[in-house]
Structure 1
Amino acid sequence: MKILMLGWEYPPKISGGLGIASQGLAHAIAQKHKVHFLVPTHDEPIPKSKVRVWAASNLNYEADYWENHQSVKNNIEIQAISARLMPYLTPDFFSHTSARPALSPSIQKKPFASFIDQLPLSGQYTDSLSLELGKYTLLAAQYAAKFKFDLIHAHDWMTLSAASVIKELYSVPFIAHIHSTENERNGIQPNPEIKELEKRGLQNANRIIAVSSQTKKIIIDEYGITPEKIWVIPNGNSPKVSVEKKINSIKKIGFIGRLTHQKGPAIFLDIAWGLLKKRPDLQFEIIGNGYLESELKSKVHQLNLGNNVKFFGFMGHKETLQKMSELAILIMPSISEPFGLVALEAVQLGIPVIVSKNCGLREFLPELSSFDGWDSYSFVQEAERILKGGNEIKLNQALIKKSAKNLTWKNSSELVDKVYLDLLK
């Protein structure tokens, strides 16, 4: 079977769990099928594997081709120019990536096709995102025309329009793989245009994969999708993660994730404040960037936590895993966490984890310690209990780690394969 995967992120160019999950699943599926993975761009070399990773930025816009598909092209152009897709992450979150020059307003007023060659495909979440999505959609359709794919596997909302166009042009069925919905990312203030893109894409999809039942429920409730169309398949992880274990005399408690309201970093600081009143020897490490960074640093100053809280900014996956292995506890007080790949990685490293009740991983590892995201008091109490140790804690951690062994990309890919076969039967 020949599969075209569409994704906005792929290691080493990532912003979080989406790219890691996309790569892990693609590699596992490629053990059985031919997988092409089309990303907007990649600036760094990608290690050789069975997955053929291709950058849309290496493709040329073919005006002659689109002369035969004028109505489809017009719809793409209208959407690209009219949409105002302010992403859930601000551009400064991506300060670790190289800056790209934006198109001038005067150029953007011209017909889309006239400046498409001047539009860089950065793969970033900037204020030109809608234009980049339009170009990516056109180039993805051209790429699909060169190969006879059996199906399209599109990761998250950024690629749903491209998958829909390919389906329309070539009658290739597509699967929408939803790692998070706009409601989960932005809660009570979702971007209406992104929601509309999600809605149209999910309606056009032949099948939908959700990473948890809570994400499935949101897809049903928000977009009116029939439940029978949605399959719940968890993320996985590599069974063996190579990190150098270090013995630390100082107990470190960590937060790993985007510094956005969704992830609850401000609550993490409340938890730190509560724990430090009883354990002033603790150190708290925050790994990640986001629009709340300056606000969080101000809060650290106001609470007089500067000697105990350290910000590390964005780190690559390997470096993050190394930092994670040094933690005594990982705390994830997320307002919304569709799955929680970071928590799974910590569990498989033997790191105790405390998550919010809104973490999808709880569906697959019900033994995880979990509380309401806003309940910092309960997080503090549980962290104290774990730090004290004892046989009960050790036995529970061993049980969680054993259960997590089933959450591998190989097992997830086998479930995805059932969706493929169901779709093409």
Structure 2
Amino acid sequence: MIMAKYRDNDPIVEISDPQIAWDETELERIQLELKVFQKDYKGVDAIDTRNLSEAERRKYCRQLVEGAFQLLRLRSQDYPECFEACVCRCLGSHALEAHLWSRWSGYKEVMIKLRDMAYFSELHGKYHILPATTVVASIVVKKLRKVGTGGLDESTCLMMRYKVFEFAHASVKHFNEQGNKITRTKHAIPNWKPKVLKVETPGSFGETGLSQPIPHKSFGMEDTKSQVGMMLKSQMPLLPVTTTTTKKITRVQAVDLVVPHMVKIMKELWSTTTNDECAASLTKEIVIVLPPEIKEWLQVWSRQAGKQEVEIWVREATEDLETYEWGETQVVQGRPAAEPIYAAINELEELHNENVPSVATRHKLQEGTTMIRHYVMGMEEKWKEWAYKELSKELLECQGAIATDVSFIRCSLEEDDERCWKKRRANMEHAANDDGAKTNWLP
């Protein structure tokens, strides 16, 4: 079953074929039948794949591809074009001669497509399938000829993570429809979340690829209201609030602060920089609790260094105090200011209580004031509702414009990717027809 969506006559197809894990018993049976082609087989009937004629190479590649189709529970006669393309791919990539997975001439092309497939899978949250020729050739080399990977390499991890072999049958089935390219399935990756970290850029994008997937997020009204609320709150004036903090300093603390500067001044012969540092470290409160002998030293020093403010502090610190407490006042931004109308209503209520002797009159005035307050509050709510609507409209328009731009960028990249795949496919087909040519898989 195929579900297609169209955009400017460029189909984006999702296949719905289920995952099918092959039977390990069947794999062992096919491997036994084709053991003569396996890399480490040492039997007397082993085939020396290094010295074969062209006819023999084609014959043996057909046998191996036939084995791969059987493993996928498919009949080669039902998919003749795909079968022949896979045979050509095995011939062109020298699948018979491979003795190490990473040295196989088709390895580079497989890795490019695996990374691209991983990128698109993480971008859309859906499993993607490899081109049939890529996955079948990989089965031939990796599973049927048992060419080792030398451990759990990157390609093996990607194949396991994105169910490459489980979807291999779908790659063959949709070979003609998809043009032998990476195709999206409708099967969601479990626990998938849009990535915010950088994801591997697909090789076919080159320098124009996205550095990270664009998260798919629909902007709901609740999100917009929250944003509008923050904007409205940010525009409300804040009343300054005065706070007073009690601070305390002892003589021991003051001496510890001042003595190092005194020593440095005497050592460096009253340098301007040292004098400035000492003056900057002093405060009136520190000077107050210093012992008399240090005050005398500071008085002489401040006069000679031209630090008039310190000289005044010393002159005024006539008491011999060992502890001093003082309050520091600081003005900070407070809660949002009340509207002037509410301040006026509050003042009216206070006047009622103070200047109206009659209880009945005072009660009537209070009722009237309460009605005014409720009316103003109602008008305020209506204003806020109007402001929400206006700001919501503006935000939604901006979000829509952003979504349109993102969609355009994504479509442009997908179109570039399609052109790159077509060029790469042409290179692959050309290389498959020239057995001795060294294939360049990059577009």
Q: Same fold (TM over 0.5)?
A: no
TM-score normalized with structure 1 length: 0.24
Whose helix fraction is larger, Structure 1's or Structure 2's?
A: 2
TM-score normalized with structure 2 length: 0.24
